[in-house]
Each structure stands twice: as C-alpha cells, then as structure tokens.
Amino acid sequence: MNQPLITGVGITNFGRFPELTEEALAQSAILDALTDAGITISDVQAFYCGNALGASLPGQRALRELHTKGGAVYNVDNACSSGATALNLALQALKVGQYDTVVVFGMDQLSSLGGGPLQLSQHDWNNKRGMIMPALYAMRAKRYLYEHGLEPETLADISVKNRKHGVLNSIAKFAKLATREEILASRAVAEPLTLLQCCPAVVDGAAAVVLSTKPSSGVAKPVRVLASVVQSGLFETEPVDMTEAEITARAAKLAYEQAGIGPGDLSLLEVHDAFTISELLYYEALGLCDRGGAASLVASGATALGGRVPVNPSGGLLAKGHPPGATGVAQIVEVCEQLQNRAGARQVQGARFGLTQVTGGGIWGVDHAACSIHILSL
C-alpha cells in the first residue's frame, strides 16, 4: 500500500463575495495549494471536488480555465460532508496506486442563493412541517440543558470562545468578538438559540489540498492522514436520545482504531459547530469528556487556545463561516497548518495530532446523513 501525504494546502477568504463565482474561488484555492506543494497543475492526475449547492459538474466548471490534461474529475455531493468525503475517496485511490498525485477541493457560493437557512428537500414530511436545522438543534439544546441542569449561558460560551479564535484567523471575514451577554441578547432564532449561536448562512469560500505518494518538494513538511472514515446515518425506527451524536461517536471509534491513538492524544480538533449545541454534543461523542461533562470542559478553558485540547482554533463554522462543500477541506487545511507550525497567532503549541469532524445533511428518519472524520499527524 502506498502512503499518501498532504503536500500542499490552499484556502480563500470565507465571506460574502457576490462579485465572484464559485469557480473563481476554487481556482484560487487550487493554485495556492499547487504552489504550496511545489508542483504545477500538469503534475496532477485526478481532481476530487466537494460541492453541495452549486450547479451540475462543479469540478469541471472550476477546472476548465486551468488547462488541465483532461484527467479524471470526481464530483462529490454529501451535503456539508462533501469535501471531507472527497478526501476519503482520493485517499483510497492513492493507496491502491491508481494515481500518485491528486487535488481535493471544496467550494460553495451561498451569496448567489439569497438568505435564510439552507434549503432542505420538501419531499421530507418533517421539513414540510418546519423541522429545519435551526429548529432541530434548538430542540436538542433545550433537551440537553434540561437533562443536565444547565442555563443558556453554557451555549453562549461556545460562541464567545470560537469568536475569540476567529478574530485571529485572517480568512474569517465574519469573525467579531462578542460577550456572553451580547450573544444571548442577539435576535432569537429558535429558543434557546440566538443569532450569534448559529453559523452564518450566507458564506462563500473554497479550500484545496494536494495529496501525493511521491517525494514532496513543498514549502512545509508533508502531513500524514492516520485515519479517514465516512459513515452514514441509521434509519431511526423508534425514539432516540436527541442529546447523543450517534453517527459521530460511531465514526470516531473507527477513526481512533485506524489511527492507533485515543482522544487523550489529540492536540486540537476542528468540529462541525453549525450551532453552539453541536460543539457540546461532539465533545462527548468524540470522547473528550463523559456524557454530561461538556459544560465543565468548556468552563475549564480546556477547549480554548492555550487549553489542553483547543477545539476550532480556526474559529469554526460559527466565526469562520460555512460554505458546505468547502468546510471539510477547510478543516483539513487548518489542522495541516497547525501541525506544520504555520497558524500564526492562533498556533496550538506543540501540536502533534489533529482531528477533523464534519456531518452532513438533514433527511427524514436519520440523525445525520453523513459524518466524516480524519486524524492527521506529521
């Protein structure tokens, strides 16, 4: 089996750029990743594109002006997990020797779609009744707070933390500091979630990575992928615990087994904090603490920069933004730069192992449609 390495990374600003196309965003990220890897586009044998909300053939549209050789382009739509799923597929091809150098990129431009929450299928009866993502996570939040005797301030503290991280990240154009009181006083979305506890819904951006089994001539030391796991949600035939992130816990168990490490070995994590309650649930599902221990973990400062295991040093989705097709790849870029000691003011000192986790989709009858987890190391 060949050992694929991440040899270059590239990422655009995440913000609102209606004057740009998602193709232009992707091209910028791809060219930056190629430069970082010390190669040209003619060295790339295949491209894997994660895209959730664009038009058909997104990969080919992004690449047509970059003068590729006409090699394979794989388009992957797995909702918010699209980019991370594309990475999983690319790793499989490299390991069996189908290719020796590929590019994985993700992109979405939500400013072209207008405002409001992401559109879900109206063929699903619960979506027709208004069970969109903010409503679902509000229900989870209310149940979690009730079961553990907590107040909404615990949720707000996640947003405070991630916004502090985000202002240190130059690409996070929405990142602004906010106090607990400001977050709780922001416009109500779905009780107990307020506006500043939800990731921005209209964000454009792209990210890309180069993977290769050939010796690297890149700017920084290559990064190893110790684990790459994709799982799908289970169809729920009876009542379930809304405070348990089952698909993430299942995927994490497989990822830790692949990597040969446990949650106690992690130096940092990038997780899918689409809403503040999400990050709390993922602390427990990923094994950072026991069930019910997430609030204490936040309060201790362990998951902030300078703490034992910083979570979302990039600012996460809450502060950086969430173009769905790009998010999974953007998480990989952040962890690579942290491991390579290239993260600047938000650098996690002595970072050795990093984990990324992204879920995707909302369809009737399952917790999440997809979950992708990667564990990286130098």
Catalytic positions, please? 80
Half-sphere exposure of 278 (CA within 13 A, CB side): 30
Token pair for 302:
């362990």
Query: How far apart are alpha carbons 212 and 101 in whole angstroms?
Result: 4
How far is Cα 41 from Cα 23, in angstroms, rounded to an integer? 16
Q: What's the start-to-end Cα distance of the chain, in Å?
A: 19
Residue 358: its H or E element: strand 353-360
C-alpha 18 chain-centroid distance = 22
Strand partners, 46: 72, 102
Crossing angle of the two packed helices 153-166 and 276-285, in degrees rounded to 10: 90
Q: Residues, the chain, total?
A: 378
The Cα-based distances of 22 to 62, 65, 116, 225, 228 in angstroms read 8, 13, 19, 27, 26
Which amino acid belongs to residue 125?
W
Helix/strand/coil (H/E/C) assignment for every residue in 13-71: CEECCCCCCHHHHHHHHHHHHHHHHCCCHHHCCEEEEECCCCCCCHHHHHHCCCCCCCC
Q: Give the separation between CA 73 and CA 314, rounded to whole angstroms.
A: 29
* Identity of residue 78: N
Tokens of 150: 């907590």
Give the contacts of 66 (CB within 8 A, at least 6 positions apart): 27, 30, 31, 41
- What is the tally of helices (H) and strands (E) in the chain? 12, 11
Please answer whether residues 316 and 273 qualify as being in contact, where contact means their C-beta atoms are separated by less than 8 angstroms: yes
* 105 close to 83: Cβ distance less than 8 angstroms: yes
